[in-house]
Amino acid sequence: MKVPFVDLQFEYQGIKDEVDRAIADVLNRSDYILGAAVADFERAFADYCQADHAVGVDSGFSALELILRAYGIGPGDEVITAANTFIATALAVSNCGARPILVDVDPQTYNLDPTRLESAITLATRAIIPVHLYGQPADMDPILAIARKYNLKVIEDACQAHGARYKGRPTGSLGDAAAFSFYPSKNLGAYGDGGIVVTNDQAVADQVRLLRNIGQTVRYRHEIKGFNHRLDSLQAAVLCTKLPYLDAGNRWRRKTAVSYNNLLADSPIITPFAAAWGEHVYHVYVIQTDNRDALRDDLAKAGIATGIHYPIPIHLQPAYAELPYVQGDFPVTERLAKRILSLPMYPGITQNAVDYTARTIKNLVTDFSKSKQVVPG
């Protein structure tokens, strides 16, 4: 049996006629750059996040960077984020000329540990970027309380958390601003790159609109030195069509997660912890296991695709050799990097595929355990 890590065809085939019509509408209007579909999607996504403003950009990476720039963060400034996030979170900080400061994560939620946050704040700190990793919201109340105490901005990295909720409130509405990615495999994915900035701050939204569009308010009048980070009209049309199906897709993910949890409950596998205050949307379903690399290889031989999110922490990446960190500085992050494995997870995955994946894992970890036993001589 073959079990892919993701299957992007399932959703497309279910809404093919709607998507094709939306794309055809853009083609017929030929408003490819910041056209009607972009404005429509921005309004719809802002409403979905219960926020005042949404500004479409070309990636989640750009969304983070432009938020930082809109707040005037740059050289000499520090921005705190989680040590185990995807490197783009830190790169957005670096691209502004600021310095990423890392904090270790909670061993259960894998998100930024609020108890470690305050000790990382210096006079140069300007903002905190909590990451809603894997689709689970970070514990925002203590993070926000510390940020307010020190007059810091809170920028949600919600690139993996479309539709997740924290104490009933949607991600994107929790901090001062938020960044989402629409990479094709995300819970709400485009058919190429895309991202969006969500905020209740009118000034930030206006500045991001300038920054994304070469600094111009009207054509050929450039108010600031901007960038070309616009959301494509064709991608916006696709996203606008797919948005009404996001919640159903998230329910499928949660149901799949419950199945995995139940099937793996009597094994040595550590399944994801879902905090009671949040609504996890399982962008990826991440287990912990001994012999991770051997298990992954054997699953591949059995036709089961997996992923690792992420195998090398930021502070151990060659690109960040200049940061004042060494191996051992973030023990939770480093331990997770050696043990985590992402299982197949997507709307449309069948129960048979989940059963086969879980059964194969249990058989393999049992074999690993037996191989460690010492046979009496």
d(CA 174, CA 141): 9
H helix count then E strand count, the chain: 12, 14
Higher pLDDT, 37 or 376: 37
Q: Is 90 exceeded by the pLDDT of residue 356? A: yes
Least confident of 97-101, 223-227, 229-233, 365-369: 365-369
CB-based contacts of 17, cutoff 8 Å, min separation 6: none
* Cβ burial, residue 287 (10 Å; 0-12/13-18/19+): buried
Identify which of 68, 79, 290, 336 has the alpha carbon closest to the alpha carbon of residue 177: 68
State pLDDT tens for residues 115-172. Answer: 999 999 999 999 999 999 999 999 999 999 999 999 999 999 999 999 999 999 999 9
